[in-house]
Structure 1
């Protein structure tokens, strides 16, 4: 048994490679996810997301490198990994003439749950996924959304520490996606570590603590949306409402930002502010602390700052800027 410890990280990919002939499905991927965090894994079709997830789930072996789930190697200790892992694939098999409770009970037995423990786990899973009222209903009569809930329940039935969810929201209606998002966040709050892939980037931005962007088998960026933007020197747009003297403020910001070696917060202002009545709009290269300093600086210069708004690029904007749309 090969136990690898890495602090509080519950998922770790270390120099992971997976080749299919000349195709580099996964090429030198390394990242980790702390316990209780949700990590969004995004990239175009064929980027290597599912291959990475299959390796983490012990359904495939890496060509080189290793991955760890709750401290155990997927290469050396696959059985121990499976006991700690719940995998929800993008498509899954069901049995048409089996009802929901029978389906979950089958997998609970497969994981070795017996007696009272199995009964309690089935009860909790049905309640958590909202399928109690459909436990006697044949699977063939379930909607897409209810089938996704059932699949999530199957992945949860043995109380895993780590969840791997491959496109769980695909094909769901808006209400079902919102409910699924709430369940995923609740699982993370309960201490489960979740790796999730999705093409619905707005939802990932809302539920994930960090994301990883992959293309052509290579990891291009990791971190929160703000961190990735800062890594790539991306700016935010500020809109500042200044009562009565907006033109004077714009002139001062422009002249101050152009002074070489200026240490004032105005040095983060890029270009000339656009004046629209009481509103000033300009690109700003600083972080939130620099933004707060800028407001204090303007007030110190006797400008009446009524309000300020910051506009960061969305995860979709970041994704488009980081990737090139390449496939393999």
Structure 2
């Protein structure tokens, strides 16, 4: 669907995007993660045909985004981080205006727009002026507008920026529905827990480099950092003995006690964890619970980028 090969973008001596390679399959919901200035927006604008590249190639469903910018704009729907709406238009008039930019008749736009406004929960706002809509409603309207020409790829730059929790939830539901319909979506965001919930794959950018990319679970499992094991033990009167025993086990790097459990930093995989549990039980320690703490996207992002902002 989307293929980016050796993409580079310079602004004078500043290297905004450095030799980026990325493939996104049709139907993927891909999340771009990275600190400010990492190159996310620059990459997305190049994909949308809004910015020239210094070097490399970008194709969307076989269309060259660098050489055929007019054609690519028919294949891509774009929602920028600073969206603009025409306050003196009503919601349906707004949709008709943008549909006309793609050569659509008023009748065709109205037919398509009805479904899109229903999708973004704005069916009851068709005849109200855009300037009366809340910020969250305006943002969802921008998503509907970006879909008016039925693009193959939807690109959203910080779609939840500035939205309150309720509006973020509503936007998340809209994007999930689009994903279930088979739309290919690229999202950039700093709200990392929401990305991990919405996206099937992610790419982490830092200082113009794509540091890692792939399915969320794969990146989590291959992050290379120590995982946390929670071991619930019945009766922990001999904490010193338990600590000594745990510290002697393979792949255990740190042992901490909580109220009714031991928290272990662990560098092994599933088989090594199973062997650890076997050794603990073999020692006669009564285990009532044993599970791996799920790493979140935010901690992985901070680990990879060194806590950059």
TM-score > 0.5, shorter chain as reference: yes
> 1:207-237: per-residue Cα shift (whole Å, max 9, x none)?
1222222222122222345544554420111
Conserved? CA contact 1:94–1:139, under 8 Å: yes
Conserved? CA contact 1:229–1:235, under 8 Å: no
Q: Name the residue aligned to 1:274.
A: 256
Counterpart secondary structure, 2:225: coil
Matches of 1:156 and 1:290, distance apart in 2: 48
Matches of 1:117 and 1:300, distance apart in 2: 72
TM-score if structure 1 supplies the norm length?
0.84
Matches of 1:276 and 1:43, distance apart in 2: 34
> Is the alpha carbon distance of 1:112 and 1:288 closer, same or farther for their aligned partners in structure 2, counting shifts above 3 Å?
farther
* The one of 196, 202, 226 aligned to 1:235: 226
Matches of 1:292 and 1:108, distance apart in 2: 58
Q: Name the residue aligned to 2:149.
A: 158
| TM-aligned CA deviation for residue 52 of structure 1 | 0.6
Q: Name the residue aligned to 2:122.
A: 131
> Is the alpha carbon distance of 1:151 and 1:276 closer, same or farther for their aligned partners in structure 2, counting shifts above 3 Å?
closer
Q: Which runs of 5+ in 1 are unaligned?
A: 1-9, 258-266
> 1:103-147: per-residue Cα shift (whole Å, max 9, x none)?
111222322334764333111101001111111111122211111
> Is the alpha carbon distance of 1:97 and 1:28 closer, same or farther for their aligned partners in structure 2, counting shifts above 3 Å?
same
Conserved? CA contact 2:99–2:109, under 8 Å: yes
Conserved? CA contact 1:43–1:49, under 8 Å: yes
Q: Name the residue aligned to 2:200.
A: 209
Q: Please provide the CA RMSD for this pair.
A: 2.5
| TM-aligned CA deviation for residue 325 of structure 1 | 6.2
1:1-328 superposed matches below 5 A: 10-114=1-105, 117-224=108-215, 226-244=217-235, 251-255=244-248, 257=249, 267-271=250-254, 273-276=255-258, 278-288=260-270, 290-292=272-274, 294-295=276-277, 298-299=280-281, 303-324=285-306
Counterpart secondary structure, 1:12: strand
Could you tell which deviates more after superposition, 69-78 or 80-89?
Answer: 69-78
Counterpart secondary structure, 1:97: coil
TM-score if structure 2 supplies the norm length?
0.89
Counterpart secondary structure, 1:61: coil
Count of aligned pairs:
307
Conserved? CA contact 1:242–1:303, under 8 Å: yes
